[in-house]
Structure 1
Amino acid sequence: MLATAIAVLGTLLGTVVAGAFQQKSASRAATAAATEQLRRERLAAVTELAAAAADHQLAMWMRGEAQFSGATPERVEELRSIAHATRSAITRPLVAVQVLIPDPTVRAAAHDMVAATYWMRDADTSTEALVAAQTEARASHDRFVDAAAAYLTTA
């Protein structure tokens, strides 16, 4: 009888221990999956913001170039509309970066990139001013990508 009781207790204890290990393993797997999902969302936000900024830089360049080359007012207005659309496309990924990435360096680089891209609008005095604004926008784009890459490889 004592042997039976010990066997039953041993079986119950083994079941409890195995259940605890399974629960801990499942918890680790869920944590790893959540971490990987967050990493993918951060990467997507960074990629979308970088692409949206590059699209807006191109649109602003084309608009400015059209103004300086004497394009028709209709063409300039068409390019202005495209620039408005590309500027609007920056908002969602910028918010995603700000929400998903707490690193102040990445957030500042994102802000600087977007600001430099928007400042291309003010470079409507000469081709030289437009080239200088585009150069700064591209450099700020590269700084954002570098900061985001550094963060994402360590996060």
Structure 2
Amino acid sequence: MSGQTLLAVLGILGTLGGTLTVTLLQQRAARIERADRLAQDKKDSLINAVTTFVAALTAHRRTMWHRERLRLTGADDTLYQDARSDSHRTREEITAPLVTLSILAPSLAAAANTAARTTYAMRAATDEDALDAARAAAAQATEELIAAAAEHLA
């Protein structure tokens, strides 16, 4: 093999090596970018699930407080039934985001279920003071869920 041929072969091998290296680096960068995008999408989905769940809990807590206050004060039955219908609707709105949250972040499922159960417990209030205490406990459980979610996402 002549010197020129050897140089040509080495030049071709060098070019192929460089091309292969660049290709491998580009593929690796693309994989890293996809992984980062998937991680961000999961984070965004979890933030959305927590936000939707907390909004549903807040709406249900508000309607339960109104409904139970009407019950405890002996309000007109029509007003109470309307408030009861509202509370049934807001309770139904809790289920889907609770399931989504529990699937996306199983480590948050216990806190989410506690927040839901604490909100549902407002129904058992025996007087207005107990109702106010139950509402405060439900709000506290929701705040604890938010803190747990923030820690999970940090």
TM-score range, shorter chain: over 0.9
Q: How many residues align?
A: 150
Q: Which residue in the other structure is 1:22 paired with?
A: 26
Q: Which residue in the other structure is 2:58 paired with?
A: 54
Which of 10, 16, 30 is the equivalent residue of 1:12?
A: 16
Question: In the aligned structure 2, how far is the partner of 1:77 from the partner of 1:117?
Answer: 19
Residue deviations 1:6-35, cap 9 Å, x none?
111111111111100000000010011001
Q: Which residue in the other structure is 1:130 paired with?
A: 131
Matches for 1:142-153 after TM superposition, within 5 Å: 142-153=143-154
**Can you give the 5+ residue segments of structure 2 that lack an aligned partner in the other structure?**
none
Question: In the aligned structure 2, how far is the partner of 1:150 from the partner of 1:9?
Answer: 52
Question: In the aligned structure 2, how far is the partner of 1:140 from the partner of 1:14?
Answer: 58
Over aligned residue pairs, what C-alpha RMSD do you find? 1.1
Question: In the aligned structure 1, how far is the partner of 2:144 from the partner of 2:30?
Answer: 39
Report deviation, 1:142: 1.2
Report deviation, 1:39: 0.5
Question: In the aligned structure 2, how far is the partner of 1:59 from the partner of 1:6?
Answer: 79
Given the two structures, how large is their TM-score scaled by the length of structure 2? 0.93
Question: In the aligned structure 1, how far is the partner of 2:21 from the partner of 2:106?
Answer: 39
**Residue 142 of structure 1: SS of its match in structure 2?**
helix
Matches for 1:49-128 after TM superposition, within 5 Å: 49-103=53-107, 106-123=108-125, 125-128=126-129
**Residue 9 of structure 1: SS of its match in structure 2?**
helix
Question: In the aligned structure 1, how far is the partner of 2:109 from the partner of 2:151?
Answer: 13
Amino acid at match of 2:63: A
Q: Runs (4+) of structure 1 moved beyond 3 Å?
A: none
**Can you give the 5+ residue segments of structure 1 that lack an aligned partner in the other structure?**
none
More displaced 10-residue stretch of structure 1: 126-135 or 38-47: 126-135
Residue deviations 1:76-128, cap 9 Å, x none?
1111011001000000110011100032xx222111110000111111x2112
Which has the bigger relative contact order, CA under 8 A and spacing at least 6? 1
**Residue 33 of structure 2: SS of its match in structure 1?**
helix
The alignment-based identity, stated in percent, is 34
